């Protein structure tokens, strides 16, 4: 299926960013790309034909998409936003004390 390949591409792009890049902010961006890829994949796997899961009073219920993964992903997005905010805070603190956000320089490998 095409969404599997798209998920793979996005996930590996994020993974590549985390493995190769040295800038701490780029690492957070890579983590976010991986996160978004996972959310997209869960939503795409559970997709089935139907209207949005908001019923209407009076009319007969039509085929509705699965509301369960949507609720789960909503939780995931909130947790992802929290972890991103916390990671950025840590980067702000590191920048304040070391005045640099490059991993190599922080570890003393490069000046």
Partner 1 sequence: MKNSIVILLLILLSALLIFSFDFIPEQEIVVDSTAEHIITKGLQETGSLNLVTAILYDYRAFDSMGESTVIFATVSAIVLLLSFKTLPVSSQGLSFIVKNTFGFLAPFIFLFGLYVITHGHLSPGGGFQGGVILGTISIILSIVYGSAYDYRKYPPKTKTLLETGGALLFLFIGGLGLVLKGHFLANVNPLINEPGRLISAGVIPYINIGIGFKIGAGLAIIFYSMIQKTYVEEELKS
- Residues forming contacts to partner 1 in the complex (CB under 8 A) are 1, 4, 8, 12, 15-16, 19-20, 45-48, 52-57, 61, 64, 66-68, 70-71, 74-75, 78-79, 82-83, 85-86, 88-90, 92-93
Token pair, residue 77, equals 């997005």
| Smallest separation (angstroms) from partner 1 to the CB of 9 | 9
| Smallest separation (angstroms) from partner 1 to the CB of 111 | 19
| Smallest separation (angstroms) from partner 1 to the CB of 94 | 11
Q: Which residues contact 23 (CB under 8 A, 6 or more apart)?
A: 101, 102, 103
The whole-angstrom separation of Cα 62 and Cα 47 is 16
The smaller minimum CB distance to partner 1, of residues 79 and 100, is found at 79
* Dihedral-angle region of residue 95 (phi above 0 means left; psi in -120 to 50 means alpha; beta otherwise): alpha
| Smallest separation (angstroms) from partner 1 to the CB of 78 | 6
Distance of CA 8 to the CA centre of its chain: 14
The smaller minimum CB distance to partner 1, of residues 23 and 83, is found at 83
The smaller minimum CB distance to partner 1, of residues 47 and 100, is found at 47
Short-list 68, 39, 69, 67, CA closest to 55:
67
């Amino acid at each position: 299926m095409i969404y599997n390949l798209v998920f793979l591409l996005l996930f590996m792009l994020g993974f590549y960013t985390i493995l190769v890049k040295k800038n701490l902010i780029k690492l957070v961006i890579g983590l976010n790309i991986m996160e978004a890829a996972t959310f997209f994949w869960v939503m795409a796997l559970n997709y089935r034909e139907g209207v949005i899961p908001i019923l209407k009073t009076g009319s007969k219920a039509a085929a509705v998409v699965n509301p369960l993964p949507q609720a789960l992903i909503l939780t995931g997005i909130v947790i992802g936003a929290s972890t991103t905010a916390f990671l950025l805070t840590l980067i702000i603190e590191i920048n304040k004390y070391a005045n640099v956000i490059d991993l190599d320089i922080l570890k003393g490998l490069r000046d």
